Amino acid sequence: MATHYYPSDLAAALQQRWPHDGAASPPLPAQEVLTQLISTLYQASMLQEEGRAVECHVIFASADQLEAQAVTPTGFHLVSFTPPRACNEQEIRRLSPAVQRQSSLLAVRLTADNSLMLWGMLFTHHEWDRLAESPRSSPASPPLALMVHVRGPGNLVFYCGNTRVLTLQHGRIDGHGFVQFPSAWGEGRFNENGHLLQQAQLPTLVTPMEEELVVLLSHHLQRQALVRMRASGHGGLVLLVPTDKVAYLMASGSILQPKYKVEPGNAGPRYRTLLVAVVRRLGELGEVSWAHYCRSQDATLLALDAEVTYFADLLADMTAVDGALVLTKQLQVVGFGVEIKASQTAISNVYRALDMEGRTLQTVPADHGGTRHRAAYRLCLAEPECLAIVVSQDGGMQFVHQDAGKVIFWDQLSS
């Protein structure tokens, strides 16, 4: 199994993962051209400009291709170089300060003799690589082309429009996209869906669309909290425990010892209350579904969505305190600054999931990570119903749970 990827490997992986849906996904350049572009960007990422690591955004498209996609005359601004410049790592280094914003990109095209040229810069009105973080539709429409975010030494993120396709970091690639939850976590283990929906007092039996709403809304909330944790640079540990086991797990002398225990009902803007309000409002509007929640411009739903964002900020802030943040699987806060007392739980190996379903596993030593990781592994081994999310200071992330006696984790590279 390859553990490090080089330009030719990345080009092949990108070709394989690139969306193939006709006009909605323009074709990538030939393998050798793509390899050349990736090699140049990788070398540029290893340089510095005035003492700072090179960071920039690049789009592979001609002026004609971009102008054909302009929805309005003011959709974006193009600055063309006369003459174009050779696309090499030094030119990218020199130009990188001008295109550090997510809304600005260096434009690269292929010449008739198969050379790569820096022909100009594209300035847009939106942060094209941040649109996917919100479930709500945006009037912004990023160009449909290959775009690359150079994020520092050896860190490249590849996009098709605003869809993240592949990330390179620490010599490894991640094609799962940003903070995508493992499949196993959406199959009845991630949160207690039935209890939450029952509290909304729906007039009919719970439907699959209503269950999907609960799962995806909880994912959305946690994704926002994790984004803020990553951005803070302090890292953190989030634990999800069964609601009916909170008293047992957090009792004196038990495995979870909170420095700051939160009394039920005193957790500020409670997620359970918010979700019930969302479900009821969607029911009043005629459709209880995630799709309706995302596209609706109803003032009440917009206000509730803002409250969900506020709650995500609250969660992120609590993870800044030393120790773990503990939530029930209904996402009720029960404590933070929590110490995991599982030092007597012996664990020698854990298993890295190589797919989102957790079917293909790679054995790694349990001490391969830091203190937070080892604490999460021991907890999940000792208490199989608990789930853990570990965020490192560098932004790397692991989702951890136990399945049939094996502690399995999913890696998510830094955003």
Q: What is the C-alpha to C-alpha distance for residues 45 and 62, in angstroms, rounded to an integer?
A: 23
- Asked whether residue 1 is domain-assigned, the answer is no
Q: Could you say which of 174, 196, 215 is where a domain stops?
A: 174
Angle separating helix axes 271-285 and 299-318, nearest 10 degrees: 160
Sort strands 146-150 and 163-169 into parallel, antiparallel or unpaired.
unpaired
* Spatial distance between the Cα atoms of 14 and 31, rounded to a whole number of angstroms: 10
Residues 160 and 221 occupy one common structural domain:
no
Task: Indicate the pTM of the whole model.
Answer: 0.65
Same-domain status, 296 and 403: yes
Q: Are residues 103 and 159 in the same domain?
A: yes
| Token pair 């001609």: residue | 62
Torsion of CA 266, 267, 273, 274, to 10 degrees: 150
Residue 14, domain member (yes or no): yes
Decide if 234 contacts 316 (C-beta within 8 A): no
Judgement on whether residues 166 and 192 belong to the same structural domain of the protein: no
pLDDT at 44: 94
| Interatomic CA distance for residues 301 and 281, integer angstroms | 7
Same structural domain for residues 127 and 168?
yes
Same domain as 144, residue 229:
no
- Between strands 76-86 and 116-124, the pairing is antiparallel
Structure tokens that stand for 79 in this block:
């600055």
Residue 30 in domain: yes
Domain termination site, one of 174, 199, 218? 174
- CA 384 remoteness from chain centre: 25
One domain, residues 153 and 34 = yes
**218 and 142 in a common domain:** no
Domain count, the chain: 2
Does residue 119 sit within a domain? yes
In this structure, the answer to whether residues 201 and 144 fall within a common structural domain is no
Residue type at 221 in one-letter notation: L
Q: What domain range is 40 assigned to?
A: 7-174
CATH number at residue 144: 3.40.1700
- Is the distance from CB of 237 to CB of 313 less than 8 angstroms? no
Same domain, 223 and 111: no
91 located within any domain: yes
Write out the chain's pLDDT in tens, 415 residues: 445 677 888 888 888 888 876 556 788 989 999 999 999 999 999 998 888 889 999 999 998 888 777 644 456 788 899 999 999 999 999 999 998 887 889 999 999 888 999 999 988 766 655 545 555 545 456 678 899 999 888 888 898 877 788 888 777 776 444 566 776 665 555 455 555 555 555 555 567 787 788 888 888 888 888 878 877 778 889 999 988 899 999 988 899 998 998 876 554 457 878 888 898 899 899 888 888 888 888 999 989 988 888 888 889 899 988 999 999 887 888 899 999 998 777 888 999 887 777 788 889 998 888 888 999 999 999 998 899 999 887 777 889 989 888 999 888 755 4
Return d(Cα 388, Cα 368) in angstroms, integer. 17
Hey, what amino acid is at 126? H
Residues 142, 55, single domain; the answer is yes
The pLDDT of residue 360: 85
Q: Are residues 209 and 98 in the same domain?
A: no
Question: Given 157, 174, 191, which residue is the final one in a domain?
Answer: 174
Residue 395, burial from CB neighbour count under 10 angstroms (0-12, 13-18, 19+): buried
Q: pLDDT tens digits for 80-95? A: 999 999 999 999 999 9
Residues 236, 320: Cα–Cα separation, whole Å: 7
Cβ-proximal residues to 266 (8 Å cutoff; 6+ apart), any chain:
none
In a domain, 2, yes or no: no
Is residue 114 included in any domain, yes or no?
yes
The CATH number of the domain where 390 resides is what?
Answer: 3.40.1700.10
Tell me which residue has tokens 């929590």: 338
